[in-house]
Amino acid sequence: MDSDRRDSWAEGVPLWARMIAIVGIPGVIAIFLVYVGAGLLPKMARQSLETQSAIQRLQDQQAEHVRDTAAIVRTLQRICVNTATTAEARERCFQ
């Protein structure tokens, strides 16, 4: 008889209301947060990998730019030295 009374209260009650009655409001909130967090973790991991690869590409581009700029500076210094008419003018090419 007691088991019938225990089960009869749940008849016609929506599932979400039964969950609240069984685990309580804090339990439902915790379960919901775990569910949402578990869904967000793969997205966050994918975004992290995409960000890391973008950073790596930018670092590679920056290093290439630095190499290109250094080559241009050396070329300009050579031109400056070749066109300088005095020793003092040649010294200014490297400042």
Domain containing 16 equals 2-92
| pLDDT tens over the chain, length 95 residues | 455 555 666 678 888 888 888 888 898 889 889 988 888 888 999 999 999 999 999 999 999 999 999 999 999 999 999 999 999 999 999 88
The three-state (H, E, C) secondary structure of 15-30, written as one string: HHHHHHHHHHHHHHHH
Q: Quote the pLDDT of residue 39.
A: 86
Q: Quote the pLDDT of residue 73.
A: 95
Distance separating alpha carbons of residues 40 and 44, to the nearest angstrom:
6
For the entire predicted model, the pTM comes to: 0.54
Number of domains in the chain: 1
CB 93 within 8 A of CB 80: yes
Q: Quote the pLDDT of residue 1.
A: 46
Among 26, 7, 28, 4, smallest CA distance to 17 is for 28
